[in-house]
Amino acid sequence: MISKDWGMDIISFRLPPEMNAKLEKIAHKKRISKSELIRMAIVEYISNHGE
């Protein structure tokens, strides 16, 4: 599912429960949302592997 809201696309996807728990733990430790953590990971991946 992809839709637009507040200038950003919303993308819905599934994660294994253990991966979601790890994301929650890291996001809580860094005091950021899981969405922000995922965006940061995607930006890093694209900068290393993108065109």
Q: What is the pLDDT of residues 27-47, one digit of tens each?
A: 999 999 999 999 999 999 999
Q: What is the pLDDT of residue 7?
A: 84
Task: Note whether 4 and 19 are within 8 A (CB).
Answer: no
Q: What is the pLDDT of residue 19?
A: 98
pTM for the whole structure: 0.79
Q: What is the pLDDT of residue 44?
A: 95
Task: Note whether 12 and 1 are within 8 A (CB).
Answer: yes
Q: What is the pLDDT of residue 2?
A: 52
| Segments of the chain assigned E as strands | 2-5, 8-11
DSSP H or E segment with residue 18? helix 17-30
Cα separation, 37 vs 31, whole angstroms = 10
